[in-house]
Chain A
Amino acid sequence: MDTEIFTPLRLDEIDSALQLELKEKLDIDIEACLECGKCSGGCSNGHIFDYTPRKIVQLVKIGDEETLAGMDALWICLSCQLCLDRCPSGIDIPRILDYLREKAVTQGVRASRPDVHLFMELMLEEVRDKGRVSEVPLMIRFKKKTGQYLKDAGLGFRMFLKGKLGFIPSRMQKPEDLKTILSERKSENKG
């Protein structure tokens, strides 16, 4: 018979290592969290998150880095900033998620959902190329790669009606300036 011995999580540290890391590197103090859940109640994608923003803050508090790196929410957060905008304590949760995503990517963690990284790569290519993201060209590139041409057609139409889709690619005036910045940044990171 398979018996599993029940071991509760031991809270040995008052502040988890990750909590201190966020404080030091991002100047974000999650001790200010009131645990009210306003961030999660209004989260744009909260209904499909495995861990809602309040729980993400709590995971930081208990220092569960494994769950944080592996959670789905990390990759489907829209960075819409609603949680930050509404937080009574002004905790920058989107910035925490950015930080956790960077950390996950550096550690080679990949989203369990398909095509998340493909989409991000394509989006970054758009930025590198034109300095801006144009929705329709980005969508076309993404659809070509995945072959799912009709998957989001309904959503696309609704977005079009609301004027959220730009058909004409927009470019910044001097995209070469951005390229210089990005290449400098790259060499900085390497050095």
Chain B
Amino acid sequence: MDDHVKKVLVIGGGPAGMEAALKIGQAGFGAILVEREPELGGTLKKLVSSFPKWEDPADLISFKAHMLEDNGNVECLTSTTVLSAERSQKGFRVTLRHLKNRGSRELDVDAVILATGFDLMDVSVYGEYGYGIYPNVMSSLEFEERIRGWKEGAEPMPKGVAFFKCVGSRDRSKGFPYCSRICCMYTAKQAGLVKDLFPGTKVYVFYMDYRAAGKGYEEFVRDIIEQKHVRYVRGRPAKVLPENGRLLVRAEDTLMGIPVEVVVDTVVLASAIVPRADTQALTKMFGALTDEYGFIESLPYTPARSGERVFFAGGCGFAVETQGALQQGAAAAAEVIALINKS
């Protein structure tokens, strides 16, 4: 009988990584959760409210963080990155580095779960939208910050806000033929938040279609349109122009086939979800499969497995909302436990 406690390295402290580490710990195995930021939470930490239930993401993060703390089997290492990894006989020998005190540490793990999350594409490639030229044209993640500012009363009230969906997504010419899946929902959420804060503000959402495939999602979007009176305009915006210190948006109303325009103060670009550039180094280090875009790919019939003793969960696999990230984290933990429990 091997008295060595089996250990799993979980890289990334967002919802997927937190959930994976937690389940491994609860099952009685050791988990080391590595997060490069000083705090756990990942992208979720930057968000104001959630769909479809308007819950505060901070509550979920602190709930999971407390569970992790109370579980004696999980070691959470924040401000830490993975420096190197080498495949050993039964797992990996990895070197971790603390980003602040520069100290490093070597350890052996039986398996690894990659949960490094996603990034947003660089939307400045769209010259027609003027990102980087007009300060009030911003990405959806930057807009979360803006909402926080409005909530705290730090920013002046906008008279109009326009959301552009599919900025990058479903755009072959920019190299992203895929749908980023979560933008329809978080855009509806953001539009709703603006109307909650400023009922008099005119809010427009430009869309080609809205994809609300999830429990309570369709009802959520309909509520934004019918109860909160956000105006959905069908058409992909063509151009943003300055007009008397405000922003003029040109598009086609494709339902009537006529050109339309709106004048707003803020334009929010629902940018395509892309893999993080530095996830690439980790997939090489651990021998994980990736797809043509750089998202982690699964092996046949094992949705959370990407290689020998290599698993993944959350946005590093593809764009996913919080609920899905938690589910994938739990699924990756289940696969890891099934593997390491055998011997």
Chain A residues close to B by CB (< 8 Å): 6, 8-15, 29, 31-32, 35, 54-55, 58-59, 62
Of the candidates B229, B250, B253, which one forms a contact with A62 in the assembled complex, judged by CB atoms under 8 Å apart? B253
**Minimal Cβ-Cβ distance residue in A for B257:** A55
A29 near B261 (CB under 8 angstroms)?
no
From residue 244 to 286 of chain B, which have CB atoms closer than 8 A to chain A? 250, 253, 255-256, 258-263
Of the candidates B225, B229, B258, which one forms a contact with A9 in the assembled complex, judged by CB atoms under 8 Å apart? B258
CB distance from A42 to the nearest CB of B (A): 18
Of the candidates A6, A11, A31, which one forms a contact with B226 in the assembled complex, judged by CB atoms under 8 Å apart? A31
Of the candidates A6, A15, A32, which one forms a contact with B229 in the assembled complex, judged by CB atoms under 8 Å apart? A15
Of the candidates A15, A32, A58, which one forms a contact with B256 in the assembled complex, judged by CB atoms under 8 Å apart? A58
- Whether B204 sits at the interface, judged by CB under 8 Å, is yes
Given A35-B234, A35-B255, A58-B255, answer yes or no on A11-B229 (Cβ-Cβ < 8 Å): no
Q: What are 10 A-to-B residue pairs whose CB atoms are below 8 Å?
A: A9-B253, A9-B259, A9-B261, A11-B262, A12-B263, A14-B202, A14-B203, A14-B231, A15-B229, A62-B258
Q: Which bucket holds chain B's interface residue count?
A: 20 to 34
Q: Which residues of chain A have C-beta atoms less than 8 A from B229's C-beta? A: 14-15, 31
Q: Which residues of chain B have C-beta atoms less than 8 A from A35's C-beta? A: 234, 255
Of the candidates B226, B230, B255, which one forms a contact with A55 in the assembled complex, judged by CB atoms under 8 Å apart? B255
B261 near A10 (CB under 8 angstroms)?
yes
Given A14-B231, A35-B255, answer yes or no on A9-B226 (Cβ-Cβ < 8 Å): no
**Minimal Cβ-Cβ distance residue in B for A14:** B231
Q: Which residues of chain B have C-beta atoms less than 8 A from A15's C-beta? A: 229
CB distance from A18 to the nearest CB of B (A): 15
Given A14-B202, A14-B229, A32-B226, answer yes or no on A8-B260 (Cβ-Cβ < 8 Å): yes
**Minimal Cβ-Cβ distance residue in B for A31:** B226
A-B pairs with the 9 shortest C-beta distances?
A8-B259, A8-B261, A14-B231, A31-B226, A58-B255, A9-B260, A11-B262, A8-B260, A58-B256
Provide the bound-state CA to CA distance between A110 and B203, in Å. 38
Given A10-B261, A11-B233, A14-B202, answer yes or no on A55-B225 (Cβ-Cβ < 8 Å): no
Q: Which residues of chain B have C-beta atoms less than 8 A from A12's C-beta? A: 262-263
**Minimal Cβ-Cβ distance residue in A for B209:** A35
CB distance from A136 to the nearest CB of B (A): 42
Given A15-B229, A32-B226, answer yes or no on A10-B259 (Cβ-Cβ < 8 Å): no
Number of A-B contacts (CB under 8 A): 49
By CB atoms of chain B within 10 A, which of A31, A32, A35 has the most? A31
Provide the bound-state CA to CA distance between A149 and B298, in Å. 75
B250 near A55 (CB under 8 angstroms)?
no
From residue 307 to 339 of chain B, which have CB atoms closer than 8 A to chain A? none
Q: Which residues of chain B have C-beta atoms less than 8 A from A14's C-beta? A: 202-203, 229-231
CB distance from A67 to the nearest CB of B (A): 9
A11 near B256 (CB under 8 angstroms)?
no
Provide the bound-state CA to CA distance between A9 and B251, in Å. 10
By CB atoms of chain B within 10 A, which of A11, A35, A58 has the most? A11
A55 near B256 (CB under 8 angstroms)?
yes
Q: Which residues of chain B have C-beta atoms less than 8 A from A29's C-beta? A: 226
A6 near B259 (CB under 8 angstroms)?
yes
Given A29-B226, A62-B253, answer yes or no on A11-B259 (Cβ-Cβ < 8 Å): no
Q: Which residues of chain B have C-beta atoms less than 8 A from A55's C-beta? A: 255-256
Q: Which residues of chain B have C-beta atoms less than 8 A from A62's C-beta? A: 253, 256, 258, 260
New contact pairs (16) apart from A8-B250, A13-B202, A14-B230, CB-CB < 8 Å:
A8-B258, A9-B259, A9-B261, A10-B260, A10-B261, A10-B263, A11-B204, A12-B262, A12-B263, A14-B202, A29-B226, A32-B222, A35-B234, A54-B255, A62-B253, A62-B260
B225 near A31 (CB under 8 angstroms)?
yes
Q: Which residues of chain B have C-beta atoms less than 8 A from A8's C-beta? A: 250, 258-261
**Minimal Cβ-Cβ distance residue in B for A13:** B202
From residue 217 to 232 of chain B, which have CB atoms closer than 8 A to chain A? 222, 225-226, 229-231
Provide the bound-state CA to CA distance between A8 and B256, in Å. 12
Q: Which residues of chain A have C-beta atoms less than 8 A from B203's C-beta? A: 14
Q: Which residues of chain B have C-beta atoms less than 8 A from A9's C-beta? A: 253, 258-261
By CB atoms of chain B within 10 A, which of A10, A14, A32, A55 has the most? A14
Given A29-B226, A31-B225, answer yes or no on A10-B262 (Cβ-Cβ < 8 Å): yes
